[in-house]
Amino acid sequence: MKTKQKKIAIFFALCAAWFSVHVTLTIYDGLSDNIQKCDVAIVLGNKVELDGTPSKRLKARLDRSVQLYHNRLFQYIIVSGGIGKEGFDEAEAMKEYLINKHVPSEFIILDNAGVNSYATALNSKRIMRQQGLKSAMIITQYFHITRTRLAFKKVGLKTYSAHAEYFELRDFFSIFREFFAYYKYLFI
C-alpha cells in the first residue's frame, strides 16, 4: 500500500512542478514584449461595464494600443470582441474609446465576432488578407499572450506582442485558468 501512496504522491508532485514551470514561463513570456513595427495591432476584447465603457482591464489594452499607435508602430488597429453578458458590443465600445484617444476611425477595423482568442485569430487572418496586411502585434494582458500567440500560430499568423500594463488580484485566477486554456488550444 505504501508503494501505491508513494506513486500517487510522486504523480501529484510532478503535476505541481509542471504547473509551476508552465505558469512561470507564461508570466515571463507575457511580460517580455516583442514590439516591432508592423501593419496592424490586434486588441483582444474584454468586459464592457454596464454604462457601456470599457472595463479597467480593457482600457489598459486600448491605452497600450494608443501609446504604440502614436509611436507609429502600426497604422491600423483591429478591435476584436463579441457581445458580452452586459449586452454591449465590445468591439464597438473599443472603437469609440480609441476615437476619443485621437485614433482616426478609418484606421480602426471592427471584429464583432471575436468571442474568444481562437475566433479572433481566425477573424484577424481573414481581415488581414482582405486588407492586404502582412504583420500584426497582439495586445492583451500578460497572462494571455502565450495562448493568444498559440492561437494565431495555429491559423498561420506569426505575431509580435505587447502586454497591457494593468495588474489586479484577479490575475491569480486568470493565470490558473490560462494553464488549462493553453492545453485546450494546443490540441484544437
pLDDT per residue as tens digits for the range 57-96? 999 999 999 999 999 999 999 999 998 888 889 999 999 9
For 162-174, give one letter per residue: b (16+ CB within 10 A) or e: bbbebeeeebeee
Q: What is the pLDDT of residue 94?
A: 97
Domains identified in the chain, total number: 1
The sign of the dihedral angle between the CA atoms of 26, 30, 33, 38 is positive
Q: What grid cell was written down for 112? A: 464583432
Three-state DSSP state, 47: coil
* DSSP tag of 134: -
Three-state DSSP state, 152: helix
Q: Are 115 and 82 in contact (CB under 8 A)?
A: yes
At 139, is the pLDDT very low, low, confident or very high (cuts 50, 70, 90)?
A: very high
For residue range 32-61, what is the model confidence (pLDDT) as tens digits?
999 999 999 999 999 999 999 999 999 999
Q: What is the pLDDT of residue 1?
A: 55
Three-state DSSP state, 138: strand
Distance of alpha carbon 71 from alpha carbon 54, whole angstroms: 23
Q: Global pTM? A: 0.93
Residue 94 structural domain: 2-186
Distance of alpha carbon 74 from alpha carbon 162, whole angstroms: 13
Section 146-172 average pLDDT: 95
Q: What is the CATH number of the domain that holds 126?
A: 3.40.50.620
Mean pLDDT (the chain) is 94
At 2, is the pLDDT very low, low, confident or very high (cuts 50, 70, 90)?
A: confident
Distance of alpha carbon 65 from alpha carbon 135, whole angstroms: 15
